[in-house]
Amino acid sequence: MLVRGIRGAITINQDSGEEILDATKELLEQIQNENNFSPEDVASILFTVTNDITSIFPAEAARNLGWHKVPLLCFQEIEVPGALPRCIRVLVHVNTNKGQDEIKHIYLRDAKMLRQDLVE
């Protein structure tokens, strides 16, 4: 079994704890559903947020989903002029037998513009 990285991102309209948790939950659930894994398959998850997101750690959404044993870390994205605002990004490391070409990366809302090559 290999460890594969699954990328994803989603944007929010405003910096509020509820919106951050709801959006992160939506993103994680879609990543899980599209890639068919269980929390026990997850080696770790890295979350990043743009500097305009400060209300709550998005990792809390994973805990709320019951992913209590998964190692989680949150970081702030570097500030790049013209970058997409209010964006939550995730890198999920999953133990899987899938090949890289079978992994489905998920970009939602305005984050679709980040990787148009990966969005169906």
Q: For residue 120, is pLDDT > 90?
A: no
**Which active-site residues does the annotation give?**
7, 63, 74, 77, 89, 107, 115
pLDDT in tens, 64-118: 999 999 999 999 999 999 999 999 999 999 999 999 999 999 999 999 999 888 7
- CA separation, residue 42 to residues 20, 71, 87, 100, 110 (Å): 21, 9, 22, 16, 26
Q: How is residue 97 annotated by DSSP? A: S
Q: How is residue 42 annotated by DSSP? A: E
User: 35-48: b or e for each residue (b if 16 or more CB lie within 10 Å)?
Assistant: bebeeebbeebbbb
Q: What is the CATH number of domain 2-115?
A: 3.30.1330.40
Tokens at residue 8, please?
Answer: 């994803």
Its pTM stands at 0.96
Q: Taking the CA of residue 9 as centre, how many other CA atoms within 13 Å lie in the half-sphere pointing to its CB?
A: 20
pLDDT in tens, 21-79: 999 999 999 999 999 999 999 999 999 999 999 999 999 999 999 999 999 999 999 99
